[in-house]
Chains A and B, each alone.
Chain A
Amino acid sequence: MNDLYVTCEDIISDIDFKTVRDWKDRTGGKAVGYFPVYAPAEIIHAAGMLPVGLAGAGDRLDIQHADARFGSFICSIVKTTLELGMTDHLAAFDALLFTSICDSARNLCYVMQRNFPEKYVDFLHLPHNPSSPAAAEFLASEYRRLSARLEELGGEPYDEVAVLHAIEAFNENRALTRSLCDWRAERPHLMKASELYALVRAGNYLPVEQHTEMLVAAGAELEGRAAKARDSIRVVVEGAFCEQPPIDVVRIIEQAGCYVVDDDLTIGRRWFTEDIPTDGDPMMALAQAYLDKSVYSSVRHDFRKPRSQGLVEKVRNRKADAVIMLVAKFCEPAYFDYVLFKQELEKEGIPHLLIEFEEKLFTFENLRMEVETFAESLLFEFA
C-alpha cells in the first residue's frame, strides 16, 4: 500500500500532468484546469470533461519568465501558474477557470487571457454576499453560463440527469474523504499526515471515479494497520488553502512532534459539510450548497458565521491541542485572517504558532526547530 502513496505523491508533483494527458488520450475528452480553491467540478464532469485542480508548479519549476510579469509582492503560486503556461506545461488543458479568491488571483485570470488568447480562460463569479436571498438564483445562473460555455468548447450539452449523476459521484468522493479524515483524526499514529494529504490531493488530477476507488482501497488497508502512538501534540494546520507547502513541510511538522489532526490544505476536496441533494434542479442544488453548506475558508466571507468560530469548532471537534498557522508568503487572505484567528484562539486559550512558507521552500531546519520548540513547550505544559 505504500506504493499507493508514492503514486499519489508522484501525481501531485507532476507538472507535465501525465494523468490528464493519459485520460485525454483514452477518452478523447477535454480537460479544464481550475485555480484554487473551489470550482464546481460536477459541472465540468457532467460536460464530459476532466476537472483538474491546479496548484502552481510547487518546487518543480524555476521561474524564468513569470517574475518579470508580476510585481514583487505577489505570491509564488500566481507566478508559477503563469510560468507553467509560458513553458507549455498547460498545453493539456483546453480551458482554465478562475474565481475571485483574492485580488492577485483575479489579476492572474486576465494575465492568462492576455498571454494565451487562444485558450479558453473564464472567470467564474462566486457570490460574496451569500446571505442575500438573490444569491442562489444568481449563482445557479452563473453555473448555467459555465455549462453553456463548456458546451461551446465541445463539451456535452447541459443535461440535468448528467449533472445529478456527477453530484452523486462527487458526494461519494467527498463523503469518503471526510470519513478518512475523521478516521485518521481518531488514530493519527496509524497514517501519516503526508499520506493522507497526497491521497486526497491526488483526486485533483484524476477522474472522480478512479479517485474514489483509491480512497476505498486506502480505507480497507488502513483498517489493518497497527503502530505505537507517539507522544505528540495534536494540531490543526490552518492557512495553506491555496499555495501548497512542499510535502516535506507536512512531514516535518509531524516529525517535529505533532499529529496533524485536521487542516485546510486540500479544503477544496472537502468543500461541503454534507452531501448535496440529488433531486430537483442540480444547478440550484450546487448553488445552494455553495452558499449554505460550504466549510469556512479565508477566501469566502459569510457574515452569518465567523470563520474564527469555525476554526475553534474544528479545534474542539478534533480534540486538538494547538493550531499551526501555515501561511504562504504574500497571501493576503491568510495574513488578514491570522489576526482574526489569533484573537479568537487567545480568547479560547488555544496555543498557536505562525509559520510562513513559500511553495519553493527547500531548507527546513528553521521550520523544524520552530515546530519542535512549540511542541515541546506544550508537552511540558501538559505533563
Chain B
Amino acid sequence: MTRKDGAAPQAELIGATRSESRRLMEEWWRHMEAADDEGRPVANVFVMGSIAEILAAFDIPMCHPEITSLQTAVRGKSMDYLNAAEDYGYSPDICGYVKVDVGLHLKGREHPNGKLPKPSLVVSPNTCNTYIKWSEIWERTYGCPVFVLDLPGWRGTAAGPVPAEDFERDCAYVEGQLRELIALCEQVTGKAFDIDRLREAMGEVNELSELYQQLFAENLHHPAPFDAMLEGLNYMGIANAYRCSPEGSAFLRVALAELRERVRLGLGVVPEEKYRLLLIGTACYSHFRRFLELFHSWGGVFVQSEYMSFGGGGIDKGITYDLDRPLESLAEQILASSQKCFSGIFFSHDWQSDVVDRWDIDGICYHGIKSCRTVSTGLPDTREWQMRQHDIPGLFIQSDLVDARLWSDAQMKNRVDAFFEALASRKAKAGR
C-alpha cells in the first residue's frame, strides 16, 4: 500500500491510537484505585460538565461513572448490576447508567476493570437532571459532599444564544459558584487553591479543544478516516478522562497523526464508504459492535455525531480560556459550551442541517435510548422536522445505553435495512 503522495506508508501510525487509548484507560483505572487505596480524595464527575479544571488544580483524581458504567456493558456484564439495582428498588424505567453504578456499589464496587473508588466529593452540573438524583445516591451512601454547579441554559423564544446582558448575569452566577467549589475543594483536600495550577489545567484544555476540532475536520474527507461512533468514542473517552493533563492532548495528537495518515492512504472505516451518516443520540454499549455492523455492512459510516459533542464535554465547540483572567474565563467558557452543547441538543435541527451540508451527509440516524430522556425525548420530532423542512432522510431506532433487554436485533436490522434501501433508491434517482 502506498500513500497517495507516493511516499511509503507510516505503518506505525495505523492502529497506534487504539493501543494508546487502551493504555491510557488502564492507567486511569490504576490511578483511581491507587488514590482510593491511599485514602486520597477522589471526585465523581460527569462528562457533560466535569469542571475538571478546578479539580485538577487540586490534583483530585476524577472518576467518571458514566464511563465506568458503559464499560460494564461493553464487557457484557451490565445486566448483573442492573438486576442488583432493580432488586434494590430502582425502576426498570430509569437511567441504566445510574442503575449499573448503583449495582456496582451494592456489589462492593467490584468492576470488571478494577475496583471503583469511593467518592469523597461529587461535582454535578445540572446539564442532566438525572445527574443530581445520581449524586444524591452517593451522598446517602458515602456521606460525601455534593456540589451542584448550576449552569443556566438557553432561554427565551427562538432558542439560541442567550442575549449578552443575560449571559453576563449568568456568568456572574457561575463564577460565584466556581469560587464556592474552590472553597469546598480546599476543605476536602486540605490544600490551598493554586491559581497557577488552574491556569495550567485550563491551558491543557485549550490545546485539547483545538485538537478535538481538528479531529472532526478530518472526517470531511472522503472516505472518512474514522467512525464517530467507534473510534470517535475512544477520542471522547480519553478527552474526558484526561481533560486537563498533557496526556490528553498527547493522545489526540497521536490520533490526528493516524487519521492524517489514513487520509493520505485513502483508508476509510469500511472497504467502500457508500453512505455518510450523522448520529443523533448515543451509542448502544450492550451491543456496541453489532450496532455498528448493521450500518457498516451497508457501507454506512458515522462521519459525525452529536454524541461526540455533548459527550465530549463541549470541547468541540471551541474552548479558548483566557489565562490572564482564569476564573472569569472559566465561568464564561463553561457556560458558553454548556449552552451550545447541552441546551443545544434540545433544539439542534439547525446544527444538524449545517452538518449535513458540511460533511456531505446522506442521512441521519436518530438513536433514542430509554436511559436518557435528556438526549432522546424529542428525537422523533426533530427527525420529522428535518424530513419536512429539508428533505433529509432520517431513521429513528430505539435501544439503550447498557440494558441489553432493550435490544431487539430483528427489529433493529429491519429498520436499518429499510433505511439503507431508501437511501439507495434516493441515490439511484439522483443519478449518483
How many angstroms from the CA of A327 to the CA of B215 in the assembled complex?
Answer: 45
**In the complex, which residues 139-153 of chain B have their Cβ closer than 8 Å to any Cβ of chain A?**
139-140, 146, 148-150, 152-153
Chain A contacts with B in 41-79, Cβ cutoff 8 A? 68-74, 78
Interface of A is mostly: helix
Would you give the shortest CB distance from B219 to chain A, in whole angstroms? 27
The 9 closest A-B pairs by CB, nearest first: A134-B176, A107-B377, A110-B346, A138-B173, A69-B381, A103-B374, A129-B150, A336-B133, A335-B91
**Given contacts A129-B150, A335-B93, A339-B88, A71 and B379 within 8 Å (CB-CB):** yes
A339 contacts B89, C-beta separation under 8 Å: yes
Could you say which residues of chain A place their CB within 8 Å of the CB of B172? Answer: 134, 137-138
For B374-386 the 0/1 string (1 means CB < 8 A from A) is: 1011111110110
Is A107 touching B378 in the complex (CB atoms < 8 A)?
A: yes
Determine whether A113 belongs to the interface, using a CB cutoff of 8 Å to chain B.
yes
B contact residues around A106 at 8 Å (CB): 129, 153, 346, 374
A185-232 with Cβ < 8 A to chain B: none
Contact A335 B94 (CB under 8 A): yes
For window 283-339 of A, CB contacts with B under 8 Å fall at 301, 303, 329-330, 332-333, 335-339
Q: Is A342 an interface residue (CB 8 A)?
A: yes
Residues of B within 8 A of A18 (CB): none
Q: Say if the beta carbon of B95 comes within 8 Å of chain A.
A: yes
**Could you tell me the distance between the alpha carbons of A301 and B153 in the complex, rounded to whole angstroms?**
17
A109 contact from B88, B346, B373, B381, Cβ within 8 A: B346
Chain A residue at minimal CB-CB distance from B366: A71
Between A and B, 19 residue pairs with Cβ closer than 8 Å are A69-B380, A71-B373, A71-B377, A72-B370, A73-B93, A100-B153, A103-B373, A106-B129, A106-B374, A110-B347, A125-B153, A137-B173, A138-B169, A138-B172, A141-B166, A149-B157, A301-B148, A332-B95, A335-B94
CB distance from A149 to the nearest CB of B (A): 7
Q: How far is the CB of B80 from chain A (nearest CB, A)?
A: 19
Most buried by B among A124, A128, A141: A128
> Whole-angstrom distance between the alpha carbons of A149 and B166 in the complex?
12
Q: Determine the chain B residues whose CB is within 8 A of the CB of A247 once the complex forms.
A: none
Contacts of B384 in A (CB 8 A): 68-69
B349 within 8 A of A: yes
Contact surface of B with A, Cβ cutoff 8 Å: 88-91, 93-95, 98, 126, 128-130, 132-133, 136, 139-140, 146, 148-150, 152-159, 166, 169-170, 172-173, 176-177, 180, 346-347, 349, 368, 370, 372-374, 376-382, 384-385, 398
- Could you say which residues of chain B place their CB within 8 Å of the CB of A111? 377-378, 381
B166 interface neighbour in A120, A121, A145, Cβ under 8 Å: A145
In the bound complex, residues from chain A placing their C-beta under 8 Å from that of B140 are 340, 343
When chains A and B are docked, how far (Å) is the Cα of A337 from the Cα of B134?
10
Residue pair A123, B176 in contact (C-beta under 8 Å): no
Chain B contacts of A70 at CB under 8 A?
Answer: 377-378, 380-381
Contact of A330 among B93, B126, B128, B169 (CB under 8 A): B93
Q: How far is the CA of A134 from the CA of B170 in the complex (A)?
A: 10
Chain B minimum-CB-distance residue to A127: B150
A377 at the B interface (CB under 8 A): no
Inter-subunit contact A141/B169 (CB<8 Å): yes
Given contacts A69-B378, A103-B373, A128-B150, contact A117 B158 (CB under 8 A): yes
Pair B381/A114 contact, Cβ less than 8 Å: yes
Contact B94 A125 (CB under 8 A): no
Pairwise interchain contact B139-A103, C-beta atoms closer than 8 A: no
- Give the distance to chain A from B425, nearest Cβ to Cβ, in Å: 23
Most buried by A among B88, B133, B149, B177: B133
